[in-house]
């Protein structure tokens, strides 16, 4: 009898043969099977060793690139479950629009994927023979995407998801209204009246980076004719009145008459709902945030979260609710701060660990990952990462402020691994430049051929020859 003991170390093997027992020769008819895999083959290396080799390769590829990053940079790479590489993972940094990753997930989880934010039309009583006595109230439900055909022309990168204003006007007419003896009055009392946040430069509202925050918005609160797209432009000082005026214009075109000019106000508590027009579901609104980085959608969803959690439709209530939710979900919230939903505020803080925990909580499949921007397609990556290969492999959320650039998402590598990545750079005393943005491309390029290791199914032993 032969006792064979093997001890495998780092590149060494020791074999001890016990010959103290008698050894019977094999019967002539018994052919000894020859191992299909040599004893010293890499195929006999345990899985943990194979993974360790792959991880070392990944680190060796990425580390020289990250070494060139500005000091205020965090980088993390994971396999969707655990971290494979990290630098400054716990460093709190301003995330810019990577904040929207947290907002989008929180909105879907707290409000529900299928929830809609409906715009309601109310009156004292239904119309009689087409005539509505008194005012028709247009009550905002927080839908951020009510847009006329002409308003779509203002969208960067082409048409975006919407609640079409022309279709809304058609529904009002279909409800049997041909004349209103009073006015069409916009009601945005669902949320508070804070149109902007402290610390946001005035130019952001003036230039349309974000709309004046209101529960009732049409064309992002921009002052233009809903049919021609012409007008003075600029943010409306009264978004609810602006929305009412835009819809009244379309209703007038459809033959509906009014006895007074559009205005804003609060609908009477006893007013009846004649028509309810739903927004896109929250899951689609979250996808619009991620793909197009829509600041207004993010901010209105944050107010809706506040309303849902604490009955207060404000940014502060929403921010507190998101922070509490993230902690309760076990996300890596240490060092983080939630000020707004869009990431426009420089007082927002995240870590790469937090962004990683958000992405990993949702996984690389499903609606959340599908909502991220894709290279070469409409969205914030339309002009970045050219080539078909990137479009097939990359889904990501961008982030940009004067002193911030960020990119986080999912990458499918050429060997077939799915990696999450999080990259945030704060330049602090200077504006972001082309080299800062190029760092993100260099990191992802370094990851493209990872992991460099034999796949596990190839590393296992082969069946014995002759068996």
Query: Who's near 208: CB < 8 A, 6+ residues apart?
Result: 154, 220, 222, 235
For all residues of the chain together, what is the average pLDDT? Answer: 89
Q: Is the pLDDT reported for residue 233 higher than 70? A: yes
Would you place residue 48 in the very low, low, confident or very high pLDDT band (cuts 50, 70, 90)? very low
For the stretch 59-104, pLDDT in tens is 999 999 999 999 999 999 999 999 999 999 999 999 999 999 999 9
The full length of the chain comes to 467
Q: Is 276 exposed, middle or buried (0-12, 13-18, 19+ CB in 10 A)?
A: middle
Separation of first and last alpha carbons in the chain: 21
CB-based contact 66:75 (threshold 8 Å): yes
Q: Computed from CA positions of residues 232, 233, 239, 244, in that sequence, does the dihedral angle turn out positive or negative? A: positive
Which residue has tokens 């800062």?
A: 436
What percent of the chain lies above the pLDDT cut of 90? Answer: 81
According to the model, what pLDDT value does residue 45 have? 47
Count of CB atoms situated within 10 Å of the CB of 30:
8
Query: CA dist 356 to 74, 84, 102, 407, 447, Å?
Result: 11, 11, 11, 12, 16
Separation of alpha carbons 431 and 400, rounded Å: 11
Find the mean pLDDT for residues 247-271: 98
Tokens of 50: 């194979």
Comparing C-alpha atoms, which of 381, 401, 352 is closest to residue 441? 381
Query: β-pairing, 184-187 with 136-139?
Result: parallel
Confidence of residue 461 (pLDDT cuts 50, 70, 90): low
pLDDT tops 50 at residue 46: no
How does pLDDT run across 388-442, given as a tens digit for each residue? 999 999 999 999 999 999 999 999 999 999 999 999 999 998 999 999 999 999 9
Q: State phi, psi for 421 to the nearest 5 degrees.
A: -140, 150
If we measure between CA atoms, which residue out of 40, 42, 49 comes closest to residue 14? 40
The residue among 268 and 52 whose pLDDT is bigger is 268
């Amino acid at each position: 009898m032969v006792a064979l003991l093997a001890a495998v170390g780092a590149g060494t093997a020791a074999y001890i043969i016990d010959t103290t027992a008698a050894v019977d020769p094999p019967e002539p008819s018994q052919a000894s099977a020859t191992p299909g895999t040599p004893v010293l083959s890499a195929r006999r290396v345990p899985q943990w060793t194979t993974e360790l080799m792959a991880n070392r390769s990944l680190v060796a590829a990425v580390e020289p690139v990250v070494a060139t990053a500005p000091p205020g940079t965090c980088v993390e790479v994971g396999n969707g479950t655990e971290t494979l590489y990290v630098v400054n993972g716990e460093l709190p940094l301003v995330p810019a629009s990577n904040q929207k990753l947290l907002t989008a997930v929180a909105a879907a989880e707290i409000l529900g994927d299928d929830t809609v934010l409906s715009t309601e039309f109310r009156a004292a009583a239904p119309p009689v023979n087409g005539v509505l006595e008194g005012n028709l109230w247009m009550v905002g439900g927080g839908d951020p995407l009510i847009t006329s055909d002409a308003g779509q022309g203002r969208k960067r990168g082409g048409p975006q998801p919407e609640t079409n204003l022309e279709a809304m006007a058609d529904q009002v007419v279909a409800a049997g209204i041909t004349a209103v003896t009073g006015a069409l009055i916009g009601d945005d009392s669902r949320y508070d009246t804070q149109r902007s946040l402290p610390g946001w430069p005035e130019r952001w509202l003036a230039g349309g980076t974000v709309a004046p925050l209101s529960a009732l918005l049409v064309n992002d609160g921009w002052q233009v004719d809903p049919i021609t797209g012409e007008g003075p432009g600029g943010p409306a000082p009264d978004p609810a009145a602006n929305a009412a005026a835009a819809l009244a214009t379309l209703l007038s075109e459809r033959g509906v008459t009014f006895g007074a000019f559009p205005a804003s106000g609060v609908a009477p508590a006893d007013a009846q709902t004649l028509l309810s027009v739903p927004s896109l579901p929250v899951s689609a609104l979250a996808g619009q945030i991620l793909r197009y980085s829509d600041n207004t959608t993010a901010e209105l969803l944050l107010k809706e979260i506040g309303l849902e959690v604490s009955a207060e439709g404000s940014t502060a209530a929403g921010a507190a609710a998101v922070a509490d939710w993230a902690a309760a979900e076990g996300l890596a919230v240490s060092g983080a701060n939630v000020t707004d939903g869009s990431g426009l505020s420089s007082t927002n803080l995240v870590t790469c660990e937090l962004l990683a925990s958000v992405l990993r909580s949702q996984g690389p499949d499903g609606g959340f990952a599908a909502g991220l921007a894709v290279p070469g397609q409409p969205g914030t990556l339309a002009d970045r990462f050219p080539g078909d290969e990137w479009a097939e492999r990359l889904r990501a959320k961008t982030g940009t402020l004067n002193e911030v650039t960020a990119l986080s998402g999912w990458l499918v590598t050429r060997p077939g691994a799915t990696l999450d990545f999080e990259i945030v750079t704060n330049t602090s005393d200077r504006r972001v430049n082309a080299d800062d943005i190029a760092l993100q491309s260099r990191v992802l390029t370094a990851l493209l051929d990872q992991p460099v290791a034999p796949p596990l199914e190839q590393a296992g032993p082969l069946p014995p020859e002759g068996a």
